[in-house]
Chain A
Amino acid sequence: MGNNKEIRIVLSTLRYKSAPELSSAIQVPLVQNVKELVEYDRSANVSLAQVFDDERQKSTVFRPTGKFSILFNNAYTGKTNYEPFENNLYYVDVKELAKQQCLSDPNSVWWKGFPQYNEFDFIRNDYNVPGYTIPPNNHLDFITKSASTYNWNHFLSYPYNNNYNKNMVCTNSDGVFTWKSGDGIPFNITNIIDSGNNIVSFKCPIKHGLNEGEYVKLSFSYLGDSYFEVYSLGDGTIGSDEYVFNIFNYGFTGNVFYNGQKGTFKRVIDINNPIDTTSEYYVKELKLLTNPEDAVLIKSGFEQNVFGKTKKYESSGFTPNKIERVSVKEGSQSYTLTFNKDIDLKPLRDNQKRPVTELFFNVIWKGYFGWTLNDGYKLKQGYEFNLPLVNNKPDSWWDKTNVKSSTNFSIGSYVKSSNNVGYRFNYVNSLKKDDVIDGDLCEWNNFDQTERTISVLYHKFVYNNNVFDIKENNTQNYNNMLGYYYQPNYKMTVRVFSDYIEDGGVNTGNLPDYSYYSTYSDSFIWRDIYSYGFIDQDGRGVNYPFLNGKHYPYRNYVFRIIPEGTNFISDNLIEDPTIDNCE
């Protein structure tokens, strides 16, 4: 470093004529771009609270814990002649069956009842049942370490990707809707007159998420225009605001908005800025962060749900093997789920390429004992709108032959024989870390930087009719039987985005790398992430325990195993308005 500027010194007497002789002095300009070091004794106040908060804000490692209360209604009776299963039912019609057993060949009698609760519980405890889990002639040798993984596998995952091409089908009283996840939300058109105004009413099978004054971009156009303003919501019936939106019929001609016309729409918040404000629709994909053996599932103390345990004494005279026992139909134990593995969120980005703010507990059916999944039947998945029965039968979406509803989980099998008859038992192969599974159907809008869950994902499994036949439960079609639904993904919020939106120009300092650049406003927009422990006036924020340098998020969940067609929404989501003389 140096000063390369040349300095020329002129003798004072030579400056001008009769110049006096003077002493010379030069000013050397020293321009520098450096700050001076302030040297003094540094002192720092050490505040325990401050140190704790600094460590807390800096930490990105999480140890999530969830408590699951299982709600299960053992709904389907069936019959079986496979001896290990037959000897372990919660029997019904025992007198009649015992009588048949006396009067005929005992091996020809198919005993009837419910599979016991151990077939659905998170942790099996039937490790020492002769003829079933221990010899002789047992179904399989019980491995005690697998007690918590025979029926269900538990994982932790994070939102990883968006799938815009997932096939969707919904059947209800308005017909069959078929679309892809990225198309938007489906609707069925009805032309009505409301207070003397001609209205085109759009009835959706799922919540549309629109507000009055917003626009919709339809999947078809009228005179080249596919954007229409939402004039009003609902059709006058309770709750219809969320499912019905209307546009004003200014005198549409032709055959575009006809009754029964189906299509899809996308929400547009600002018609002047459709690029930024048009919503995207997708299925959120989750990536597993753990392996099955990483899960530590234990009984949650003595906690039981309010419904208690349903059990009964099976007298030796009323069992096929003449052995008395107590059988359990439904249980009530709660379980706590943790993982041996810490989750560091720092290197992870969510499905919107933002820092991960939510994790998911995943509960996946395995069914290793083989009561479920007949040959060729995979674990099925669908959304809330697929759950209601159609004509008192499962929606065709769940048909064995419909590959669109099949999960991508592989199926394993093994063969056992009883009374010289071979039986094949199927189960879901365990997933592993980095596998990707489907999540909820969601909407995302770049303008307001929020994600909305449109419909929650459900899995469905059915009994393997080759070993346990439930046909008497109004199931006529072995390819589409009644089964059980469950929700596989349970959200755990670990950080929260602000309720306000920030924006800044390209020269704004400290722009988050996840901010969205709007070409319309030539600026970046984003939502801040609240610091740990901060709760805003609306109650948004997280304040989980922080110790050992790690965050300990915790949440309680209710895990419902739902028998098909019971205790759930009806297929007619919105009641038709009553038309009488008053109207």
Chain B
Amino acid sequence: MNKYRFNIPENDGYINIPLEIKWDFQGRDESIELYEEDVIKQIIGGPRDYEITRFSHDFHTNNTKTDITYEFNFFDNNPGTGSDILVATSTDWSSTYLNEGFTSSQIYYYENPFTKSFFKLDFYDSNDSTNQTLFFTIIIPTQQGGTETASISPLIPDVEIKRPVFKLDFVGDKEGFFIYWVRDKNTIDISTFYMSAKFFNARVGGFMRMMTTPQSNLPNKFLFDDRKYFYYKVVLDYDKYTYSIYDTTDVRVGTTSSIKWYEYVNQP
């Protein structure tokens, strides 16, 4: 409270009372409510969009084709007839389940050891195995794929059995063709993944990793840079909702040439 002292003037006296008001509360409560909402949102979080969408393989360069071909090559390590990894050459890997120990009958008759086996493509955010996160996986069942001629009995004509070459597209074999990933980049902003492959063998109850080149092509079959030889790079295009796959030299693969995987064999 200000104190005023009045001296009796001879004439009428006037005082000006300065009333300085620094506040304007109109709407302040509403502002506080908004602020309250904001604080609550910061504390408990708002809705995030985890919806996924479908990415298809991009058109081949200068072409209208969209198919993508994965070719899995197994090392022939059948007991007695197989090869020795120490002296192996690239011809010791080939795209046949027979190399993996399956019999023609198991494959032809879709026996459980065969049909329960599958290929698993893992998609990581990095090709550094010491610091990477697995974001999603694609399963390719053995029931898909191309065929090769084989004999299941000398008494009947040769038959066509499945082989691990998968030409995937919008029609026909398409399990594993599409990548389903988060559509809102504000939620997770990753559009480059590193793809590795494994084969889960139900016949033996184990799995094996696949490489991008035969070990025989490497100077040292068991000592190499795994970032180079275990991954392909997958790039998503959010404008077209497509993906493309590149090798370690950034050359696009899976178009005119198939994406080749080779079984990695441990050092004996």
A549 touches B49 (CB 8 A): yes
| Chain A residues whose C-beta falls within 8 Å of the C-beta of B18 in the assembled complex | 2
| Chain A residues whose C-beta falls within 8 Å of the C-beta of B183 in the assembled complex | 340
**Other-chain residue from A6, A10, A55, A127 in contact with B47 (beta carbon distance below 8 A):** A55
Cα A328 to Cα B49 with chains together (Å): 42
From known contacts A1-B19, A127-B172, infer whether A550 and B24 are also in contact, taking CB-CB under 8 Å: no
Q: Is B46 an interface residue (CB 8 A)?
A: yes
| Chain B residues whose C-beta falls within 8 Å of the C-beta of A421 in the assembled complex | none
Stretch at the interface among A142-150, A501-509, A573-581: A142-150
Q: Is A33 an interface residue (CB 8 A)?
A: yes
Q: Is A548 an interface residue (CB 8 A)?
A: yes
Cα A127 to Cα B169 with chains together (Å): 10
Cα A144 to Cα B65 with chains together (Å): 7
Q: Is A253 an interface residue (CB 8 A)?
A: no
Q: Is B29 an interface residue (CB 8 A)?
A: yes
B171 touches A340 (CB 8 A): no
**Other-chain residue from A9, A33, A123 in contact with B15 (beta carbon distance below 8 A):** A9
Number of interface residues of A (CB under 8 A): 43
B24 touches A34 (CB 8 A): yes
A42 touches B26 (CB 8 A): no
Q: Is B67 an interface residue (CB 8 A)?
A: yes
Cα A40 to Cα B14 with chains together (Å): 41
Within 8 A of B (CB), among A280-309: 296
| Chain A residues whose C-beta falls within 8 Å of the C-beta of B246 in the assembled complex | none
Within 8 A of A (CB), among B161-177: 169-172
From known contacts A51-B44, A145-B170, infer whether A36 and B25 are also in contact, taking CB-CB under 8 Å: yes
**Other-chain residue from B17, B25, B32 in contact with A42 (beta carbon distance below 8 A):** B32
**Shortest Cβ distance from residue B36 to the other chain A in the assembled complex, whole angstroms:** 6
Q: Is B50 an interface residue (CB 8 A)?
A: yes
Cα A123 to Cα B56 with chains together (Å): 16
| Chain B residues whose C-beta falls within 8 Å of the C-beta of A3 in the assembled complex | 17, 19
Within 8 A of A (CB), among B9-28: 12-15, 17-21, 23-26, 28
**Other-chain residue from A8, A38, A128, A147 in contact with B12 (beta carbon distance below 8 A):** A8
Q: Is B3 an interface residue (CB 8 A)?
A: no
| Chain B residues whose C-beta falls within 8 Å of the C-beta of A296 in the assembled complex | 53-54
Kindly report which residue of chain A lies nearest to residue B35, judged by CB atoms.
Answer: A42
**Shortest Cβ distance from residue A353 to the other chain B in the assembled complex, whole angstroms:** 29
Mask, B39-54, CB within 8 Å of A = 1, is 0100110111111011
**Shortest Cβ distance from residue B103 to the other chain A in the assembled complex, whole angstroms:** 30
| Chain A residues whose C-beta falls within 8 Å of the C-beta of B53 in the assembled complex | 296, 340
Q: Is B62 an interface residue (CB 8 A)?
A: no
Kindly report which residue of chain A lies nearest to residue B12, judged by CB atoms.
Answer: A8
| Chain A residues whose C-beta falls within 8 Å of the C-beta of B172 in the assembled complex | 125, 127-128, 144
A550 touches B170 (CB 8 A): no
Q: Is B144 an interface residue (CB 8 A)?
A: no
Cα A36 to Cα B29 with chains together (Å): 9
**Shortest Cβ distance from residue A32 to the other chain B in the assembled complex, whole angstroms:** 8
Cα A59 to Cα B67 with chains together (Å): 39
**Shortest Cβ distance from residue B49 to the other chain A in the assembled complex, whole angstroms:** 4
B171 touches A124 (CB 8 A): yes
B64 touches A141 (CB 8 A): yes
Q: Is B223 an interface residue (CB 8 A)?
A: no
Within 8 A of B (CB), among A26-51: 28, 30, 32-38, 42, 44, 46, 51
| Chain A residues whose C-beta falls within 8 Å of the C-beta of B110 in the assembled complex | none
**Shortest Cβ distance from residue A47 to the other chain B in the assembled complex, whole angstroms:** 11
Cα A1 to Cα B36 with chains together (Å): 30
| Chain A residues whose C-beta falls within 8 Å of the C-beta of B47 in the assembled complex | 55, 59, 547-549
| Chain B residues whose C-beta falls within 8 Å of the C-beta of A30 in the assembled complex | 19
From known contacts A2-B20, A8-B14, infer whether A144 and B8 are also in contact, taking CB-CB under 8 Å: no
Kindly report which residue of chain B lies nearest to residue A145, judged by CB atoms.
Answer: B66
Kindly report which residue of chain B lies nearest to residue A298, judged by CB atoms.
Answer: B54
B25 touches A34 (CB 8 A): yes
A10 touches B12 (CB 8 A): yes
Kindly report which residue of chain B lies nearest to residue A35, judged by CB atoms.
Answer: B25
| Chain B residues whose C-beta falls within 8 Å of the C-beta of A55 in the assembled complex | 46-47
Within 8 A of A (CB), among B65-104: 65-67
Q: Is B241 an interface residue (CB 8 A)?
A: yes
**Shortest Cβ distance from residue B258 to the other chain A in the assembled complex, whole angstroms:** 17
| Chain A residues whose C-beta falls within 8 Å of the C-beta of B29 in the assembled complex | 35, 37-38
Cα A11 to Cα B10 with chains together (Å): 10
A550 touches B23 (CB 8 A): no
Mask, A518-552, CB within 8 Å of B = 1, is 00000000000000000000000000000111100
**Shortest Cβ distance from residue B19 to the other chain A in the assembled complex, whole angstroms:** 5
From known contacts A6-B14, A46-B40, infer whether A147 and B51 are also in contact, taking CB-CB under 8 Å: no
| Chain A residues whose C-beta falls within 8 Å of the C-beta of B44 in the assembled complex | 46, 51
A1 touches B65 (CB 8 A): no
Q: Of A51, A124, A550, which is in contact with the most chain B CB atoms at under 10 Å from its CB?
A: A51
Cα A38 to Cα B20 with chains together (Å): 20
| Chain B residues whose C-beta falls within 8 Å of the C-beta of A1 in the assembled complex | 19-21
Q: List 15 A-B contacts (CB under 8 A).
A: A1-B21, A8-B12, A34-B23, A35-B28, A35-B29, A36-B25, A37-B23, A37-B25, A46-B44, A59-B47, A123-B171, A125-B171, A144-B169, A548-B47, A549-B48
Contact residues of A with B, CB < 8 Å? 1-3, 6-11, 24, 28, 30, 32-38, 42, 44, 46, 51, 55, 59, 63, 123-125, 127-128, 141, 143-145, 147-148, 296, 340, 547-550
Known contacts A3-B19, A42-B36, then 6 further A-B pairs from the complex at CB < 8 Å, ordered by chain A residue? A28-B17, A35-B29, A46-B43, A46-B44, A51-B44, A125-B171
